[in-house]
Amino acid sequence: MKTQLRILSLALLSLLAISCSKDDDNGPELEAWEVEVNEVKSATSAYVDINVATNEGRFDASGYVPNMGHHFINPALIDTTFDLLNPEVILYAPNEGGVMEMVAIEYSIIPEDPENPGSPPEGFTGSADVWHFNEELGQWQLHVWTMLENPDGIFAMFNPAIGD
């Protein structure tokens, strides 16, 4: 009987070791840009509290923009470089109760020559991100809907889930 228990125990341990050594089969492997989005979500999670943004000097530079919300900017971050974990803008939109909720982040990059902006900056790994050039501000901009799902895609400029 002891021999049978030992054999059964060894078989179970072997099965456990084999199953633990396999790659995680719980879902598809994330693309590099998806991993980066998760890093950004973690790095910006404190901004869920709008007081964190205002206490560090961010202010509402836009008022309410339909399908976007309010743009709280940190002017000290707006420059010629893309810094994945330090977006220049945090977007907030009022919920049904009028409380401002974080909905997205935005990168705003000034090109060397705003009159001739050239190609968009290198942002997230791959080609999934969708930059647009704001001629009025002379900036490349990239929205990332980190907190509010966007039916048009995480990098779409506008989000129809936010009202007009």
Which pLDDT band holds residue 13 (cuts at 50, 70, 90)? very low
Domain count, the chain: 1
Examine the pLDDT at 77 and tell me if it is beyond 50. Answer: yes
Interatomic CA distance for residues 142 and 131, integer angstroms: 5
- Could you tell me if residue 117 is inside a domain? yes
- Residue 159 resides in a domain: no
pTM of the entire predicted model: 0.81
Instruction: Provide the 10 A C-beta neighbour count for residue 50.
Output: 18
Average pLDDT, the chain: 87
Q: Give a yes or no: residue 5 inside a domain.
A: no
The answer to whether residue 64 sits within a structural domain is yes
Host domain of residue 84: 30-144
Mean pLDDT (whole number) for 53-82: 96
The answer to whether residue 14 sits within a structural domain is no
| Vertex 33 angle, CA 78 and 101, to 5° | 60
108 part of a folded domain: yes
Tell me, yes or no, whether 157 lies in a domain.
no
Residues 93-109 have a mean pLDDT of 96
- pLDDT at position 17 over 80: no
Domain for residue 23, yes or no? no
Q: Any residues with CB less than 8 A from the CB of 18 and at least 6 apart, and which? A: none
